[in-house]
Amino acid sequence: MDSELQARVSAWIEQDVDPEAQAELRALLEAGDEAELSERFAGPLTFGTAGLRGVIGAGETRMNRAVVIRTSYGLGQALLARDAGYRERGVVIGYDGRRGSKVFAEDTAGVLAALGFTVRLSDKVCPTPLLAYAVTHFEAAAGVMVTASHNPPEYNGYKVYAHNGAQIVPPWDGEIAGQIEQAPAAKDVARLSLAEASEQGKLETFGEALDELYLADVLALASGEPPAGRGELSLVYTPMHGVGLHLLDLALKRGGYTNLHVVAEQAEPDGEFPTLRFPNPEEPGALDLAKALAEQHSADLILANDPDADRLACVVRAASGELVPLTGNEIGVLLGSYLIQRDPAPADRPRLTLASIVSSPQLGTYAAAHGVEYAETLTGFKWIANDALTALAERNALFVFGYEEAIGFTVGEVVRDKDGIGAALILCELVATLKQEGKTLLDRLEELHRETGCYVSSQRSTVFPGQEGSETMAKIMESLRQDPPSELAGIAVAAFRDYQVGLRTPAGGAPEPLTLPKSNVLVWELEGGDRIIARPSGTEPKIKFYFDVREPVAADEALEAARTRAEERMGRLQEAFVALAQG
């Protein structure tokens, strides 16, 4: 085994605080597993604008107590460098039901309390939107949510919120990362036990009282005249072994949606996710148990949260009786258009909707036709929330709705992040309203496609695990950046956007600056309004390609005819672009 690697591993073992992690690394050393150790010591787990996310295990590139302790120290030092008064404002900490989440949250609390911060720790597992809500409610300096959202069971993560209740954006990430680099070894970072922190007045807990405040504000998002038939709406729900059931159940029942059936096998938090390999409601087969329960109860709608309840998926029953899953883009345009239609424009405030650049442009088309501002942000809900707050501060804008195609939605200004619970309440309201009119969500989608044009969106992604995978993704993006195509599948490229350099270059024209922050995202605008986007995932080892096609619908033609034309063109674009990307 390489002597330098062996020395690094031995030093890490010496500096760790977790006997189990130390034993794990010693066993790998004794087995001479150089490949595995090289992977675990390929460099520190990167702290970015999503915080940390990685596979649970011992070593510097894994999620473990040593990494969390040093990260918490770095966070505390970064906060103090900005404002020593942040100690009194404190930090709120929540955690989900994944393996290690509670221990990681308690270590975070101990480190920050030792640095003099007032710490508020959830007294039980909690959804991510509740933690985001807690930041603004307590007027905290920051928040930490220990979760890996919808990642596979072997992952966990560490998400950081700024004092405004939104996830951090640059330069926060760089400041925290810089402080982590200077942090002492984990064993040398001072920590208080929870008992010590409590005795010193540095630790409080939050729980049921905050739940009630959150629920009251979420329920206030509902219509002042809720649909009369909401109690008859038959609903099936799964939290996917996550933490959403308690609050979603209360929100729906208090909102009058009392006919709720929960998937029993997935009702309780379980970090092993025994019925799922990928606890993501968008994954094939993930909703099979929910569909079976829906058939048993003739349900109108299936609702599914991911394990930390910040995302929302749904399956609707068509008039034919078939259960049809909706995409994030379809849910986004349904919710956004409903809220625009439901709530009249105030006399003195512009209304604003936001979506990430990889989301379908359809909501923007609808919003423009109804006098509502629409803007795109970089991928990641942190940008949606922060851009909404900027618009609120600078122009007194009324933030109506924001979404990203990866089934992330937020309604109004209650939670400054994705909220799968608040979004579920409004979606049920829409379904119940349509049912009174003899319509389904699918009927409403057809109406929207006829108004805006038929939009079809799809995504292709390829996983590239490990350090070698990261290098491969970088090469693919650089190749596309350096030699962008002028046409794809016979369709001319009207303009090429490179957010890394901040330029949009029209075909045959001079480059012009882009207004969004720099990011590793490439966009091809095609003649006729179609679009292709390429970007590496910020949370998973994969590269993603997004395709959007818009096809006009004639007044006298069946929607399916326009959809068929759009999907045929989509297939040609996918084939041409994936072949180009693969070289």
CB 386 within 8 A of CB 573: no
Burial classification of residue 576, based on how many CB atoms lie within 10 Å of its CB (0-12 exposed, 13-18 middle, 19 or more buried): middle
CB 332 within 8 A of CB 363: yes
Q: Give catalytic status of residue 149 as yes or no.
A: yes
CB 162 within 8 A of CB 110: no
- CA distances (Å), 457 to each of 146, 385, 399, 535, 548, in order? 32, 24, 25, 16, 4
Residues 144 and 141: their CA atoms lie apart, in Å, by 11
Q: Which helix (H) or strand (E) holds 351?
A: strand 351-356
The two structure tokens encoding residue 459: 């995504």
Residues 489 and 576: their CA atoms lie apart, in Å, by 6
Catalytic residue from among 72, 122, 149, 337: 149
- CA distances (Å), 84 to each of 118, 140, 395, 477, 522, in order? 12, 13, 30, 41, 40
Which amino acid does the sequence have at 19?
P
Burial classification of residue 397, based on how many CB atoms lie within 10 Å of its CB (0-12 exposed, 13-18 middle, 19 or more buried): middle
Please count the CA atoms within 13 angstroms of the CA of 129 that sit on its side-chain side. 32
- End-to-end Cα, the chain, rounded Å: 36
Please give the positions annotated as active site: 149
